[in-house]
A and B are shown apart, each in its own frame.
Chain A
Amino acid sequence: MTNMNEAVAPAQSAPIATPPALKLKADSLRRLGPVVALGLAIALVPLIAGSAYHMHMAVMIGIHAVIAISLNLLVGYAGQISLGHAGFMAIGAYGTAILSARYGWPPLLGLGVSSIAAGLLAFAVGRPILRLKGYYLAMATLGLGMIIYLVISNEVWLTGGPDGMSLSVLTVFGIELDSAGKWYWIVGAILLLTYWMARNLVDAPIGRALRALEGPDALAASAGIDISWNKVRIFAVSAALTALMGGVGALYSGFITPKSADFMQSIELILMVILGGMGSVFGAVVGAGIVTMLPQVLTSLEHYESLVYGVILILVMVFMPKGLVPTTAHLIRKFRR
């Protein structure tokens, strides 16, 4: 057992005293470094993007990255699976479309209201279903996503059914947001803000409480954590943020169909989190980038596209079971020692 390590365990030998000022700097560097790096990356992409199509991909990655970060808070940190997040995306997308196109609301108001509505739905449904664990929770969230998909597909009078719905071009402060190039900066700003807030959240006491939810209930409860309340509120926050980005995606593309709410979309979102790394905010961004781009890169393989895609996923999971970012970070630390 682990007992035998006793003699060799003191890896944490007496630390070399660091002046407080220097330590503080190192601390804020560790904290702000990734935020600055992401900001630079966002600023540089338009310079290297060769075409409007590249910018379109960048916008899609940005939208997915925000959703993956919010889903990662639920799945990677709190350890609660959701196979229904595409449903929340669709609530944001269709809510915005219906409220603006059918009822004449200002699109941004529709976007805000539908995001909050998705959060409230998650809050209401979360109470009963988040008591479930593992496979059962997966089934319940899957069911939730399917119900949303079915409602959108079938209520033709409201949603247009399989034909989808169009949204008019959004105008903000007199600027027509009619190109990927313009949307890019909006999505980039949301991504950077979300990234910063998610990092803050996981570093705070609430971040520890969320990570404790992944373990046995008795452990979290004995630390004074209200398990049900914390699961439900992170589920609601995650759903609201996902709906927000669903709505942003709808306003950006100008056209939505029920396909965006289907099961495969939920799977792709989960895939971003798992591939990038559970419990890593940066991992979610990387995962979103890969899952969004890989199918495009592989289209040149024609018939073998899905096969290669599947094989890549299997290989990553076999050799990097913790996901790309945590495994790479671990290797770098090991290499430095």
Chain B
Amino acid sequence: MSDLQVVALSKVFGGLRATDDVSFSIEAGTVNSIIGPNGAGKTTLLNLITGIYEPSSGDVRLGGKSLIGKPTHVRVGMGLGRTFQTPQICHNMSAIENVMLGSHLQLDSRLAPAALRRRSIVSADKQCRARAAELMNYVGLGRYLEESPGAMPYGALKRLEIARALAGSPKLILLDEPAAGLGAPEKAELSQLISKLSESGVTTVLVEHDMKLVMSVSKHIVVLNYGKKLAEGTPDVVRDNPEVIAAYLGRAA
């Protein structure tokens, strides 16, 4: 069963076709990667899927439902989770509160019952906190629960974002360069975490430059170049594709 479908998707900025008639589909519960040289249109594609940009034409479907025209927060409610290239963390709250923030749509956010401290709100929030603590343990941040994000290392913040995305119980999680800025031991931990994610049934899509990570965790890879889809397939197929090699290393006569 396919979870995410990208259908003939294009985005034109002035004269530039940043995304040019891209189609692919991603199978539920698997780890997938979108790769390509700098400027290939990976970030544009991600922004189209998450709703930061609206496409010029084409469609993006999650679990069969079109995401086009819906604001980001609605897409999140439909099961889309994401992390950012540089961690986007609220520094005015603790680590665990950042994770709890990800459960926003599952909680009652009306003003009046909150101001009157209705029991239902308090108890739901307590459960939310317990679940956030579990998620932090799951991503390996159990010792940072009440820590202020400013005091946490960069690698921990990247995992904190993953925990926040998971708090929204997503069907699909988009990880934007999760390995960027990480050292070798942290990358190994990340690789394990990504495998754990797909085992738990979450569909994972990585946008990543680190080929070692991409090749080791992905089941399916989509290669972009100049906004177009250049190739897709299993790591072995993509690795041996002459056009992919040419795009990365320059075309040999």
CB pair B77 A200 closer than 8 Å: no
* A205/B72 contact (C-beta < 8 A), A2-B152, A218-B52, A218-B84 known: no
Q: Mark A1-38, 1 if CB is under 8 A from B, else 0.
A: 11101100111110000000000000000000000000
CB pair A6 B88 closer than 8 Å: no
CB pair B92 A279 closer than 8 Å: yes
Best-surrounded residue of A9, A206, A234 (most CB of chain B within 10 A): A206
Q: Which residues of A contact B102 (CB under 8 A)?
A: 223-224
In the bound complex, what is the Cα–Cα distance between A154 and B80 (angstroms)? 53
In the bound complex, what is the Cα–Cα distance between A218 and B143 (angstroms)? 27
With an 8 Å Cβ cutoff, the count of chain B residues facing the other chain is 53
Q: Of A206, A222, A224, which is within 8 A of B88 by CB? A: A222
* A201/B50 contact (C-beta < 8 A), A9-B152, A208-B101 known: no
CB pair A9 B151 closer than 8 Å: yes
Interface hits, B189-222 → A, CB 8 Å: none
In the bound complex, what is the Cα–Cα distance between A257 and B108 (angstroms)? 42
Q: Mark B135-169, 1 if CB is under 8 A from A, else 0.
A: 00000000111110001111110000000110010
Q: Which residues of A contact B111 (CB under 8 A)?
A: 201, 206, 233-234, 237
A211 interface residue, CB < 8 Å from B? yes
Which residue of the partner chain B has the closest CB to A207? B114
* A6/B153 contact (C-beta < 8 A), A205-B114, A205-B125 known: yes
* A215/B151 contact (C-beta < 8 A), A204-B114, A224-B105 known: no
A46 to chain B, nearest CB (A): 28
- Looking at chain A's contact residues, the main secondary structure is helix
The 10 closest A-B pairs by CB, nearest first: A204-B114, A221-B72, A219-B88, A224-B76, A224-B105, A197-B115, A205-B107, A200-B117, A6-B153, A206-B109
21 residue pairs from A and B, CB less than 8 Å apart: A2-B153, A5-B151, A6-B153, A9-B144, A12-B146, A13-B143, A204-B115, A204-B122, A205-B108, A206-B109, A209-B104, A209-B109, A212-B90, A212-B101, A214-B90, A215-B91, A221-B71, A222-B72, A222-B81, A222-B82, A237-B111
**Besides A3-B155, A209-B109, 20 other CB < 8 A contacts?**
A1-B154, A2-B153, A3-B153, A3-B154, A11-B151, A12-B146, A12-B147, A204-B115, A204-B122, A208-B93, A208-B97, A208-B104, A215-B90, A215-B91, A222-B72, A222-B82, A223-B102, A224-B77, A225-B73, A227-B73
B→A interface (CB under 8 Å): 50-52, 71-73, 76-77, 81-82, 84, 88-93, 97, 100-105, 107-111, 114-117, 121-122, 124-125, 128, 143-147, 151-156, 164-165, 168, 183
